[in-house]
Amino acid sequence: MVDLPARGRGLATVATRRPLVAVTAVVGGVMALHLVWMLLVADSVQFARLGTLLWDGLMRGLVIGLAGIGLSMTYSILNFANFAHGDYITSGAFVGWGVTYLIAGFGTANWGDLLLVGAAGDVYGPQLGIGITASPVAILVGLVIAALAAVGIALLVDRVVYRSMRDAGGIPLLIASVGVAFALRYLVAFVYTQSNRGTTSASGVPQWSVPMIDGTLGVTGHDLTLLVSSVGLMLGVHVLLQRTKLGKAMRAMADNKQLALVTGIPTERVVRWTWIIGGGLTGAAGYLLVLWRGTLTFQFGWLLLLLIFAAVILGGIGSVYGAIFGGIIIGLTMSLSQLWIPTDFARAAAFAIMILILLVRPEGLFAGRTTA
């Protein structure tokens, strides 16, 4: 009796002071109700379709989240939006897949062509029978190499480009990172050619049909590989940042660099570890995305970059959990938007969500919980 008017007044306050929040909440609520109506009453959406979209969105979201952790950490600690991040993904994936090709196809073709992921156009992933059950060692080694390659590239670029610009401010660093992105992306195209290649063989991976209420949900071995690897890596980062001094030092640096220096935190070492952790996760994310999708081009990391930015901004810059959560939200948005709008607009929907978050809550959903 005492409670009700107070709550009513609270809602009214939200509606008048933060009209965008109120509108967002109302629209979200209406869409949820509409979905339930489509599922149960109109029967225009099957549970199996919804399940497939959710599963698909989750997979894509995990990749975006995994790659977003690195972007988020460098964004908060070095204070700039790294536009070259997408090309770390591409570079790592190409190096890793070269190694996978080499192991899976050892002896069947020229080692150079294998290492260049079939750049000469005479070796193809499906022909090598690459798949998680057919060639688990090749994939595992490739995954590790992709992570290491991305770490190497991130450290090299930091050393050559960003290190001497630490105090240059966010915008000059951002513009420099655009230059790095161009150089890296077209170096990859220069070395590995611009061709779009298929990387995996459908026969090399087990597939299951999970029964849903009115149909089935297709799950492949690569889905599960992606799920297990990315969740494992995310847990690893969580433990690393929670249990070690490094995590604390990162939080301190993100908060106030000068103070961290005064306190005796070896800031350059923290920066190096940030690149190592972020780069490693990024390389692994790129490799896993290629495994999951089965195709590889030199543009794919760049095309993913804006979605990663969307995820990081959504979750709140600097927050590892925010990046993961934001990634999954972006992945699900891209999938589920197809229930209402044409598939052409899946990415547009993800960007629209990002712009909305920037308007409603620019500090992100996980704000204040920076770096772990």
Partner 1 sequence: MSGETGSGWGNDVVKIVVTFAVMYAVYFVLGLIAGLPLQGIFATVVQLTLLIALYAMLTLALNLHWGYAGLFNIGIVGFMAVGAYTMLIISKPPASASAAAVIGGFGLPFSVGVVGAVVATALVGFVVALPALRLRADYLAITTIAFAEIIRFTFQSGTFSEFDLFGTTVGTGGGRGLLVNFEDPITTYVLDSGAFAAAVDWIEAATIGGNLQPVMDTAVVATVLMAVVAGYYWLFRRTGESPFGRVLKAINEDEDVARALGKDTSRFKVKSFMLGCALMGLAGAFYAMYFLGSVNPTAFKPQFTFFVWVALIIGGAGSNTGSVLGAAIFVGVLLRGPLFVKNVIETFVDIGSAPPTIIDAVAALGTLDVTPVIAYTFENISLFRIIALGVVLVWLMKRRPSGLLGHRKETAAAIPLGRLRPVGDAEPAADGGGSE
Which residues in this chain contact partner 1 in the complex, by CB under 8 A?
Answer: 80-81, 112-113, 115-116, 119-121, 161, 164-165, 168, 170-176, 178-187, 189-191, 193-194, 306, 309-310, 313, 342, 344-345, 347-348, 351-352, 354-355, 358-359, 362
Closest approach of Cβ 75 to partner 1, in Å?
A: 9
Among left, alpha and beta (phi > 0; psi -120 to 50; other), residue 335 is alpha
* 279 neighbors 85 (Cβ within 8 angstroms): no
CB-nearer residue toward partner 1: 137 or 355: 355
Least distance (Å) from partner 1 to the CB of residue 190?
Answer: 5
CA distance linking residue 299 with residue 192, whole number of Å: 12
Q: With respect to partner 1, which residue has the nearer C-beta, 48 or 116?
A: 116
Shortest Cβ 115–partner 1 spacing (Å): 7
Closer residue to partner 1 in complex, CB, 11/20: 20
* Min separation Cβ 118 and partner 1, Å: 10
Question: What token pair was written down for 325?
Answer: 């959560």
Residue (of 12, 19, 11, 34) closest to 336 by Cα position: 34
Instruction: Find the shortest distance in angstroms from Cβ 205 to partner 1.
Output: 28
* Nearest distance from C-beta of residue 7 to partner 1, angstroms: 30
User: How far apart are alpha carbons 307 and 331 in whole angstroms?
Assistant: 9
Distance (Å, whole) CA 56 – CA 13: 38
Altogether, the residues listed in the chain come to a count of 372
> Which amino acid, 243?
R
Which residue, 315, 73, 267, is CA-closest to 167?
267
Sign of CA dihedral 147, 152, 153, 155: positive
Which residue lies nearer to partner 1 by CB, 191 or 212? 191
Between residues 217 and 349, which has the closer beta carbon with respect to partner 1? 349
Q: Which is nearer to partner 1, 120 or 239 (CB)?
A: 120
